[in-house]
Chain A
Amino acid sequence: QVQLVESGGDLVKPGESLRLACAASGFSFSDSYMSWFRQAPGKGLEYLSYISGGGSDIIYADSVKGRFTISRDNAKNSLYLHIRNLRAEDTAVYYCARSARLGDLRGQGTLVTVSS
C-alpha cells in the first residue's frame, strides 16, 4: 500500500535552513508527481510545490518561491524540501503527497518550528 513518511522537522532559529524528507513506498515513485503542503498551527492547508517524476516540471507557490527548493532522488524513493532563511511564519506541519493534482496525502507530517 502507498506509504509516505515525512521527516526532518525541527526547532530552528529565524534565518536558518532545513531539509525535509519524504520516504515513499508502495507505488512507482519515479513515475509519480509529488507535492508538498503545510498547515500552520490552527490554520488551514496550504499547497506549496510540486515536482514531476523526472524532476523537470517544478512549480512553487508565490509565498515560498525563492526560499524553498523541491527535489527528489528516485533511486532512494525520496522527496525533499529544502527551506532556507526560515521565518516565524514558516512554522507549520509539512506534508508530502503523491500526485500534483490529486492530493494523495497519507503521512503524519513533520513539524517545523521557527523561533528565536
Chain B
Amino acid sequence: DVELTQSPLSLPVPLGQPASFSCRSSRYLVYSTGQTFLNWFHQRPGQSPRRLIYEVFRRDSGVPDRFSGSGSGTEFTLNITRVEAEDVGVYYCMQATHWPFNFGQGTKLEIK
C-alpha cells in the first residue's frame, strides 16, 4: 500500500504570511494514462472536507488563487501565498493512483 506522509503535522502561521504543506508518497503517483492523481482537501473546524486541488495542480472552481499545488513523482506541495483567517483547519493530501486509495494524516494550520 502507498504511504502518504504529510509534514509538518502542525503549522502555525501569522496572517498574511505564506504557508507550505508537504506530502510525500512511498510510490510514484504517475498513473498509466500519464495523469498523477494527487488531490488536496481542506477541512475547516466542524465542517466537511472540501477539495482544493486535483491532479497535483488543478485548482477547483471558487478556490482563491493564493492556493497552488505542485510536485511530481513522490513529492508534492500545497502552497498558500498569504494566509487568511478562513484558511485555518486541516489539510489532507490524497492519492488515487494505486489501490487502495488513501489520505495523508493531515496538517493542521493555525493562525500564529
Contact = CB atoms under 8 A, between A and B. Distances in A.
Interface of A: 39, 44-47, 59, 61-62, 93, 95, 100-109
Nearest to B96: A101
Q: Which 10 A-B pairs have the closest CB atoms?
A: A101-B96, A47-B101, A101-B37, A45-B103, A103-B39, A102-B54, A61-B100, A108-B48, A109-B48, A103-B51
Interface in B44-88: 48-51, 54-55
Contacts of B21: none
Given A104-B54, A109-B48, 18 more contacts: A44-B92, A44-B103, A45-B49, A45-B94, A47-B96, A47-B101, A59-B99, A61-B100, A62-B100, A95-B49, A101-B37, A101-B97, A102-B37, A102-B96, A103-B51, A103-B94, A105-B50, A105-B51
A45 B48 contact: no
Contacts of A105: 41, 48-51
Interface of B: 31, 37, 39, 41, 48-51, 54-55, 92, 94, 96-97, 99-106
A100 B41 contact: no
